[in-house]
Amino acid sequence: MIKTEHLTYTYGIGTPFEITAIEDINIHIEKGDYVGVIGHTGSGKSTLISHFNAILKPTSGRILIDGHDLWSEEKKTRIQTRFDVGLVFQYPEHQLFEETVYKDIAFGPKNMGLSGEEIDKRVKKALDFVGLSRSILEKSPFDLSGGQKRRVAIAGVMALEPKVLILDEPAAGLDPRGRDEILSRIRDYHRETRSTVLLVSHSMEDISRNTNSILVMNHGRCAMHASVSEVFDRTEELIQMGLDVPHITKVFIALQEKGYPVSRNVYTIEQGKAELMRLLGKDGDQHA
Amino acid sequence: MLKDVTIGQFFPGNSFVHRLDPRMKLLLTLLYVVALFLVPDFWGFLVIGALMGLVVAFSGISLRVVFRGLKSLIFIIVFTAFFNILYGGGEPLFPGISWLGWLKAEGVRNALFMIIRIILLILGTSYLTYTTSPVMLTDAMERLFRPLKVLRIPVHELAMMMTIALRFIPTLIDETDKIINAQKARGADFETGNIVRRARALVPILIPLLISAFRRAEELADAMECRCYHGGEGRTRYKVYSFSWRDWVALALMLAALSLIILMVIF
C-alpha cells in the first residue's frame, strides 16, 4: 500500500537553518494494517506522514502509493493521492472555516467533484463515524466545544473516504473521555471500512490498545517497524530513545523481576487481567 | 515557499557586527542612509561600498543570502532603472543608430546610479536586521526615541507593539503553511483557475488564519497581564546595554566615511 525507498527530506536547503528531518526511510505498510507511529518530539514523524499524501516532495528517494510513484508520474496521480490518503494534522480544528458544520465537512468531497447527492451521503456518514448528532449540521463550527470541533475536523477528512487514514495526535489536548471516544471511533472506522490507518501518538497506552504494528522513529530514521509485542519487547532500546512502554507492561516486567511466573508481553489492561487470573488460578483455587 | 523570503530575517551569530550595541547599529544605519543619499558621484559609492564590504566581512553572513533576498526586489530595481533611462536627457548613447535614439548617456548614467544606490540601501538595512534580533531592534528604537516622550508620544507602547508584530511574523508564517497543508489535504486547489477562483480559494486559508491570530492575541494579552505588565512606567530592564570599544570603532569608521562624502559634495 505505502512503500518508501531511501526517503530523505531536508528543510531550508542553502540557509543557515538547514536540517535533515528524515533520512533514508525504507518502509512498507500493508493494506488494511493499523500502524502506530511513535518517536520523540522532532524525530521526523510529522515530516514522514506529510510525504504520504504528496504534501512534501522528498529531497531524495521515492515514495509509492499502491504501486504509483508519486513524484515521477504526472500531477494527476498526486491530486488523486490527496483523496486516497486522508491526512488529519495536529489540532485539525484550526482548519475549520465554513459557516456551518455541514459545509465544512462537505469541503473535501466538493473538491473531489462529487454530485450533491453523494456529498450529502458522505457528510452524514462521516458525522456518524465521529459520533456527532445530525442536529449540529447547521450550527457554526466555531460555536462548538473543543472536542466537537476536533471531531468535525476529523469528519472533514473521513468524508473523503480515503483508502489510508493518517492521524497526527488526534487525541492531543482532549480530556480522557474525549480521547477514548475519538480513538474508539477511529478503531470502528478501521474495522468497518478495512482501510489502512496510521496513528501518530505519544501515548504508549493508546498505541498498544489500538494498533497492530508499530513504526518507531528516532533522529529522523526508522528505528523499528514490527508488531506491537516485538517492539515493546525491546524496552531498554525504547527508553534510550526517550520513549516508553505502557504502564501495565512495566508492572509485569517488575513482577517478573520479583520472581513471579508472569509473561512480560502484556500491553493492555485486559491482557494484564487475564494474565493475573491465570497466575492466581495456578497458585490455588481459593480465589476462583 | 513562504520561508524563502530573507528580507528582515535574523541570523543569530556572535560576530563583530552581531555584538555591536543595537542602539549604535541603528544610529550607524541612519548615518549610512544619509551618507548614501549625499553621494554626488560614482566615486562616493566606492567609499560606501568599502564600508559595506567591512560589514559583510565582519558579520559572518555571506552575500549569497542577501542576494537571494534581493531577487524579490528585482521588479523595483528594473522599474527604477527603466524610468531613469526613459526620462534621462543628454546626448544619444549611439548617435549612428536611430532606433536606439531614446538611449541617452545621461539616462543610462542615472539608471546605473539609482541601481547602485538601491542595492547599497537594501544591503545596509538588510545587514541591520540580519545581525540584530527584532526584540533588540525595537528595544534600541525605544531608547533612541525616548526624548519624544516629552511630546506625549507613547514611545514604549509603540515599541512594544512593534516587538510583538515582528515576533509573530514567523509564527504566523508557520501557521499559514500548516493551514495551507491542511486544506490541501482536503483537496483545496490554489494553483488553477481564473483570478476570481483563486481569490475564493484563499478563503479557507484566511479565515482560520484570522481566527488563530485573534486567539493568539488574546492568549498573549492574558499572559502579559498575568505577569503584571502595565506599560512602560517604572519598568526596569533585564538587559542593560553599554557601548564597548567595538561601537566606538564602528562609529569612527562611519563618521570618517560620512565626512569624506561631505567633502566630495563641497568640492
CATH number of the domain within which A110 lies:
3.40.50.300
Comparing CB atoms, the residue among B181, B186, B211 nearest residue A107 is B186
Q: What is the DSSP string of B39-102?
A: --SHHHHHHHHHHHHHHHHTTT--HHHHHHHHGGGHHHHHHHHHHHHHT--SSBSSTT-GGGTT
Nearest CA-CA partner of B181 in A47, A44, A163, A66: A47
Separation between Cα atoms, residue B32 and residue B48, nearest integer Å = 8
pLDDT tens figures, B40-97: 888 889 999 999 999 988 988 888 877 777 777 788 888 888 888 877 666 777 777 7
Tell me, yes or no, whether A138 lies in a domain.
yes
Collapsed DSSP state (helix, strand, coil) of residue A199: strand
Tell me, yes or no, whether A211 lies in a domain.
yes
The domain total for chain A is 1
Tell me, yes or no, whether A174 lies in a domain.
yes
> CB B207 to CB A97 under 8 A?
yes
Tell me, yes or no, whether A265 lies in a domain.
no
Between B85 and A206, the higher pLDDT residue: A206
Report residue B8's pLDDT band, with 50, 70 and 90 as the boundaries: low
Tell me, yes or no, whether A228 lies in a domain.
yes
* Cα Rg, chain A, nearest whole Å: 21
For residue A74, the model assigns a pLDDT of 86
> CB A94 to CB B188 under 8 A?
no
The answer to whether residues B257 and B52 touch, using CB atoms and an 8 Å cutoff, is no
CA-to-CA separations, A147 to A86, A153, A182, B43, B241, in angstroms, rounded? 20, 10, 9, 68, 48
Q: What are the cell numbers at A49? A: 506522514
Backbone angles phi, psi at B83, to 5 degrees: -70, -30
Chain B from 150 to 189: CB within 8 A of any A CB: 175, 178-179, 181-189
Report how many Cβ contacts below 8 Å link chain A to chain B.
60
Q: Is the predicted pLDDT of residue A122 greater than 90, yes or no?
A: yes
Report residue B150's pLDDT band, with 50, 70 and 90 as the boundaries: confident
Whole-complex ipTM: 0.86
Tell me, yes or no, whether A257 lies in a domain.
no
Q: Chain A contact for B259, CB < 8 A?
A: no
pLDDT tens figures, A16-61: 778 899 999 999 999 999 999 999 988 999 999 999 989 999 999 9
Collapsed DSSP state (helix, strand, coil) of residue A274: helix
CA-to-CA separations, A36 to A29, A90, B236, B253, in angstroms, rounded? 11, 15, 50, 61
> CB A82 to CB B178 under 8 A?
no
**Chain A residues near residue B193 by CB distance under 8 angstroms:** none
Could you tell me the residue range of the domain that residue A193 belongs to? 2-245
> Could you tell me the sign of the dihedral formed by the alpha carbons of B48, B49, B53, B56, in that order?
positive
Q: What are the cell numbers at A32? A: 488494511
Share of chain B above pLDDT 70, in %: 92
| A237-252: b (≥16 Cβ within 10 Å) or e | ebeebebbbbebbeeb
> CB A95 to CB B212 under 8 A?
no
Report residue A1's pLDDT band, with 50, 70 and 90 as the boundaries: confident
Separation between Cα atoms, residue A122 and residue A128, nearest integer Å = 10
pLDDT tens figures, B180-210: 999 999 988 887 778 888 888 899 999 999 9
> CB B184 to CB A82 under 8 A?
yes
Comparing CB atoms, the residue among B11, B178, B208 nearest residue A96 is B208
Nearest CA-CA partner of A48 in A202, A166, A129: A166
Tell me, yes or no, whether A276 lies in a domain.
no
Report residue B216's pLDDT band, with 50, 70 and 90 as the boundaries: very high
Q: Chain B contact for A162, CB < 8 A?
A: no
**Chain A residues near residue B7 by CB distance under 8 angstroms:** none
Tell me, yes or no, whether A66 lies in a domain.
yes
Q: Chain B contact for A49, CB < 8 A?
A: no
Provide mean pLDDT across the span B245-258: 93
Nearest-Cα distance to chain A for B255, in Å, is 32
B134-144 vs B22-38: helix axis angle to the nearest 10? 80
